Amino acid sequence: MSRGAGEESAGPRWRMPGLDHETQPGSDPAEPGPEERIAARRRRIAARLDAQRRQALGEIEEPKEEAEEEGEERSSHKQVEESRQKLAKLLFEGTRMVTDIQVAADLRETQRRAEQAQLKLQRVEKLENEARSSADKFEEITSKWALAKKMTVPQELWQLLNQQQQLCTQLLEEKNKLIGELQQELKNKDEQYVQTIKKQSDDIHLLLERMEEQIRMMLKTYRHNVHQVEKAFELERRELLDNNRKKWEEAIQALNTKELEYLHARVKKVEEFEKQLNQLRVQYEEEYNSMKIHLETDVQNLERQLQHMKAVYLVNQEKLEYNLQVLKKQDEENTIIRSQQKRKLNRLHSLLSNLRTKLVKQEKQFREENQSLAADCERITGQCKEVQRRMRHFAASDAEKFMKVWLMNEEEAKGLMRKALDADRIIHTQQLGLPWEEPHYWFLNNIGPFGHYKAKRMATKLAAEVLTESTSGAQEKKEEKEEVGSGEGQKENTAKAGDTATPLQNISRKTAKRILELVSDESGFLIERKLLGPLCALGKHERTLLRLDSIFSALEIDSEDDLYQLVDFFLKYKAKEGDLSQSQGSPGGEDIADLGEDRTDGESSAQSDELKSSQRPLDSLLSVCIHADDVLKILKAFVQDFHKLREEDSSAKEVLQVRDSSKDGEYWEALAHVIPEPTLKLWDALAVALEEYYNILTRRANLLAEAAVLQQQNSELSLMLEQFITSGVNSMLLSPPVHQMDLNLPCPEEPR
């Protein structure tokens, strides 16, 4: 729509830019009217189109559009747009003008080509025609050649030949003509070519000219436009500057007025404040004065105080200085002491550590020593025990040996004694002829060493003795007496042995027997079952004996002592029970303790003798009282105590076996002096006499022996002489020795 309107309005004014150089409209500055108007119109159209397009795009962009419109209204943009349009137009026209030449050349070329083609066609046609006609003519000529062969008449032939020649020349001429035409054409073409070349060079020159001109023009217009654009920009800038300056000035004025107002307000305020300040100043001054007076008094007071304090301070200072000095000194001393102490401490520390190490070492050493010593101790105890054991063994063996040696020596001594007595008797009876009476000495009957206990009888034997005692009490007594009698000589030596026996013996046989019987009856369970059968077959007495035997073996009662102890235990038990039952108030515990003591003391103490002797009357009383039921209890208690007793016994026994050898010397001395002193003197005198007698006798004997030897020699010599004589040798000799020999040799045999 708009475009159409524009076209219509612009239509008549448009001039077609001609091909020619002269008609070109390029000189824009000369006639800017129409083009500028066109440009403006076009711009408007474009703006309108733009607006339409933007509306079509949507209302969102409207604010921007406004801004753009605003921008577009600016003169500079207008100017830029204008110049751009103008330049584009100019460029287009310029290129068009330049290319016009090419287009024109193209057109000419096409036209030329068209002409050329046409001419070519014509030429070809012409040539063809000519060729055809010439061919016809050539045929005519050739046909006439055939005719000529038939010709015989020379004139005719000549005529014909002339004709032919004419025809040929015609043909040739035609050809030549054609050639000439063609050459003419060629020349024309050449000329044309030269012309076209010229034309083209002209064109090129024109082209160059136009190009140069256009360049020049473009430069000019560009420069012009740039100038204009710059101007427009400058103008715009100036306007903008003016506007801004105006705004600026307005703003500054406003600012100034405002500042003035502020200043006034400020001044007012300042005045007000000054007034207030004055007021306040006066007020404060008064306050200040009163305060000052008050403070001055205060100051005086304080000064006084200060002086006082100063005095105090001085005093204090001196004191403190003194103190300080003292303290310093003390401090010094302290430091010295401390250093010393430290040194000491260090030393002690080192010492301590040394000692510790030493201690550790020592401990170790001692421990080792201890261990070694313990080991030693053990070893030594072991050795000791071993030694003891050995000692015991040796003691036993020594005792045995001693016994044997004793016995042997005694035997020997007795033999010697007997010999001596025999000799004495012989001397008395045979030599002296005196009646001899055998002396009776106490030691003659003694056999064995004095300290040797009599062999302990076995318990069973004793039991049997005890049992049998009732039946043959007298016999028993006798035996005992004998026993005692045998030990009479020893008296005190055997006193102890006697002691041991005496209590038992002192216990009435009856009670003992009774006890044993009770035991055998009540503790039948101790007997082995096997024995029970054969026991029945035996008599009562034997049965009890056997039973007792097996019971003792079960109770490990081996020796006489054990049996005594058993019986004793029974009695004591009874006594104790009796005490308990008789006098409940009496301290039975002491008695029991006494009993224990007694038991430990054993038979060696005289106290026990007393006790036992005191108990003796009780025994008889109590023996009856032993109840069969109590036997087991007593046995039990006995078995418990028995082991203790035994151990004590064993230790006691060893001690007891140290014997007394004081009497031995006497004994042996007595043995040695079995021959009394006067007899010995007698013997000496007798010996002397006998010696003499003996000497005489020996002399006689010697002489006898000599005589015997001489006799033997004599006999031997006579034998030899005989042998010599009998042998032939004698004859051979001048002077046979036989002659010189005494032939009285055989005489020694004669005395015999």
Partner 1 sequence: MPQAAGGRGRAIPSLRPSQSRFMADSYCVHRIIEDPEWCLIAVPPLTELCLQHIVQNFTNNPVLDRLPPEDQRKVLARLPTGLPLTVTANLISDEDYWKRCCTDRWQVCDISNHGGSWKRMFFERHLENILKCFVPNTTDPDQVLELIPLCRGYVRKLEVDQFLPPVKEDQKEERDDLSDSGSDLEFGEVCIHHYDLRALVPALPLLEELHLTYGVKECGMNFEWNLFKFTYQDCCNLAAAVKMCHNLKIFKLTRSNVDDDKTRLLVRNLLDHPSLVELDLSHNLIGDKGARAVSKLINCSKLEILHLCNNQISNEGAQALAQALAKNCTLTSLNLRLNHVEDEGGEAVGHALLTNTTLKSLHLGGNRLAEPTALVFSQVLTQNSTLTCINFSCNPIGPDGGKQLLEGLRCNQILTEFDLRLAEVDEESEYLISQMLWANRDAARLQPLLQQPAEPL
The binding site for partner 1 (CB under 8 A) comprises: 3, 6-7, 10-11, 14, 16, 19, 42, 45-46, 49-50, 53, 57, 60-61, 64, 88, 96, 99-100, 103-104, 106-107, 109-110, 114, 183, 186
Rounded to the nearest whole angstrom, what is the least distance from the CB of residue 121 to partner 1 in the complex? Answer: 14
CB 514 within 8 Å of CB 469: no
Nearer to partner 1, 6 or 588 (CB): 6
Distances (CA, A) of 141 to 135, 144, 154, 161, 168: 9, 5, 18, 10, 8
Rounded to the nearest whole angstrom, what is the least distance from the CB of residue 206 to partner 1 in the complex? Answer: 16
Distances (CA, A) of 127 to 113, 132, 174, 189: 20, 8, 11, 18
d(CA 225, CA 36): 13
Tally of residues, the chain: 752
Nearer to partner 1, 16 or 537 (CB): 16
d(CA 571, CA 560): 17
Nearer to partner 1, 16 or 658 (CB): 16
DSSP β-bridge partners for residue 559 = 458
Rounded to the nearest whole angstrom, what is the least distance from the CB of residue 134 to partner 1 in the complex? Answer: 20
Distances (CA, A) of 580 to 587, 619, 700: 9, 15, 97
Tokens encoding 524:
């039948």
d(CA 173, CA 169): 6
Nearer to partner 1, 11 or 617 (CB): 11
d(CA 368, CA 236): 123
What is the three-class DSSP state of 458? strand
Nearer to partner 1, 16 or 153 (CB): 16
Rounded to the nearest whole angstrom, what is the least distance from the CB of residue 49 to partner 1 in the complex? Answer: 7
CB 133 within 8 Å of CB 174: yes
Nearer to partner 1, 36 or 558 (CB): 36
Rounded to the nearest whole angstrom, what is the least distance from the CB of residue 42 to partner 1 in the complex? Answer: 7
CB 211 within 8 Å of CB 98: yes
CB 233 within 8 Å of CB 80: no
DSSP β-bridge partners for residue 458 = 559
d(CA 532, CA 546): 10
CB 182 within 8 Å of CB 141: no
Rounded to the nearest whole angstrom, what is the least distance from the CB of residue 136 to partner 1 in the complex? Answer: 26
Nearer to partner 1, 81 or 562 (CB): 81
Rounded to the nearest whole angstrom, what is the least distance from the CB of residue 23 to partner 1 in the complex? Answer: 13
Nearer to partner 1, 99 or 508 (CB): 99
Distances (CA, A) of 3 to 47, 48, 72, 83: 12, 11, 21, 22
d(CA 230, CA 236): 10
Nearer to partner 1, 45 or 741 (CB): 45
CB 714 within 8 Å of CB 750: no
CB 151 within 8 Å of CB 157: yes
Rounded to the nearest whole angstrom, what is the least distance from the CB of residue 74 to partner 1 in the complex? Answer: 17
d(CA 643, CA 648): 9
Nearer to partner 1, 8 or 677 (CB): 8
d(CA 508, CA 486): 23
d(CA 354, CA 342): 18
Rounded to the nearest whole angstrom, what is the least distance from the CB of residue 244 to partner 1 in the complex? Answer: 27
Nearer to partner 1, 114 or 351 (CB): 114
Rounded to the nearest whole angstrom, what is the least distance from the CB of residue 104 to partner 1 in the complex? Answer: 7
Instruction: List phi, psi (to 5°) of 458.
Output: -75, 150
Q: 618: closest CA among 706, 508, 694?
A: 508
The set of residues, in sequence order, having a beta carbon less than 8 Å from that of 469 and lying 6+ positions away, is 476, 509, 513
d(CA 543, CA 631): 19
Rounded to the nearest whole angstrom, what is the least distance from the CB of residue 29 to partner 1 in the complex? Answer: 21
Rounded to the nearest whole angstrom, what is the least distance from the CB of residue 75 to partner 1 in the complex? Answer: 20
Rounded to the nearest whole angstrom, what is the least distance from the CB of residue 248 to partner 1 in the complex? Answer: 32
Rounded to the nearest whole angstrom, what is the least distance from the CB of residue 204 to partner 1 in the complex? Answer: 15
Nearer to partner 1, 103 or 255 (CB): 103
Nearer to partner 1, 102 or 334 (CB): 102
What's the distance, CA 517 to chain centroid? 80
d(CA 553, CA 260): 154
Instruction: List phi, psi (to 5°) of 557.
Output: -95, 110
Nearer to partner 1, 45 or 416 (CB): 45
- Residue 707: what residue type? A
DSSP collapsed to 3 states, 74-119? CHHHHHHHHHHHHHHHHHHHHHHHHHHHHHHHHHHHHHHHHHHHHH
DSSP collapsed to 3 states, 666-685? HHHHHHHCCCCHHHHHHHHH
Rounded to the nearest whole angstrom, what is the least distance from the CB of residue 80 to partner 1 in the complex? Answer: 13
Nearer to partner 1, 88 or 345 (CB): 88
Nearer to partner 1, 64 or 358 (CB): 64
Rounded to the nearest whole angstrom, what is the least distance from the CB of residue 217 to partner 1 in the complex? Answer: 20
